[in-house]
């Protein structure tokens, strides 16, 4: 048997495989692999919420961040590099959210469910941050007396557990007390 007859037989075999199973012809064993990604939509939603909340907080408080950096002992070059790193974080986050959106629309199995959970969590953070105060107050006003008293009791219990702490005026400071 010569070399020519072996390649002719192989090409004939490949042609028949292509006709019978085009996916196997193109991808080989990879055509039969199933998505083995574990589905964790709740954990993904919580991670998406936290991730989006941090990104929104950093993106919307640029002046506060710059003022805080100016008050510290860092050199102007270090301050500039920190701000550039934060901008890189924001850009990378936008790109990764876009990748998860594409993964949700085109994916399957656990990957799709995890990306969907992450996007739902991110949308929850957007809703929480950008909902006007008047909407929250209107919603509280629409509750019945029992529900309102339950929220007010929870607030009073929290105030009793943490006396003298006004959670509305909490601010972050550096370890050096500045």
- Which one-letter DSSP state was computed for residue 39? P
Q: What is the pLDDT of residues 53-81, one digit of tens each?
A: 999 988 888 888 888 888 888 898 999 99
- Positive or negative torsion for Cα 160, 165, 166, 168: negative
DSSP labels, 131-150: S-HHHHHHHHHHS-HHHHHH
Residue 12: pLDDT over 60: yes
Residue 95 has which token pair? 């790109």
Helix axes 109-130, 76-106, angle to 10 degrees: 130
User: pLDDT (tens digit, 9 = 90+) per residue, 111-157?
Assistant: 899 999 999 999 999 998 888 888 878 887 888 888 878 878 887 88
Residue 103: predicted pLDDT: 92
What was the pLDDT predicted at 113?
A: 92
State both tokens at 162: 């943490």
The string of pLDDT tens digits covering residues 23-42 is 777 777 766 666 778 889 99
**Helices within the chain (DSSP H only):** 3-20, 22-27, 41-60, 62-71, 76-106, 109-130, 133-142, 145-161
What pLDDT, on the 0 to 100 scale, is given for residue 86?
92
């Amino acid at each position: 048997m010569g070399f020519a007859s072996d390649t002719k037989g192989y090409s004939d075999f490949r042609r028949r495989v292509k006709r019978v199973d085009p996916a196997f012809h193109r991808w080989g064993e990879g055509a039969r692999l199933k998505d083995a990604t574990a589905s964790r939509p709740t954990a993904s939603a919580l991670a998406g919420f936290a991730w989006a909340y941090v990104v929104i907080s950093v993106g919307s408080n640029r002046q506060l961040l710059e003022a805080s950096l100016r008050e510290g002992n860092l050199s102007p070059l270090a301050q500039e590099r920190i701000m550039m790193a934060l901008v890189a974080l924001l850009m990378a986050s936008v790109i990764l959210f876009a990748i998860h959106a594409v993964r949700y629309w085109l994916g399957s199995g656990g990957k799709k469910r995890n990306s969907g959970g992450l996007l739902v969590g991110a949308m929850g953070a957007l809703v929480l941050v950008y909902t006007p105060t008047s909407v929250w107050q209107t919603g509280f006003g629409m509750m019945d007396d029992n529900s309102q008293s339950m929220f007010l009791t929870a607030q009073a219990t929290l105030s009793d557990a943490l006396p003298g702490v006004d959670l509305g005026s909490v601010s972050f400071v550096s370890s050096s007390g500045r």
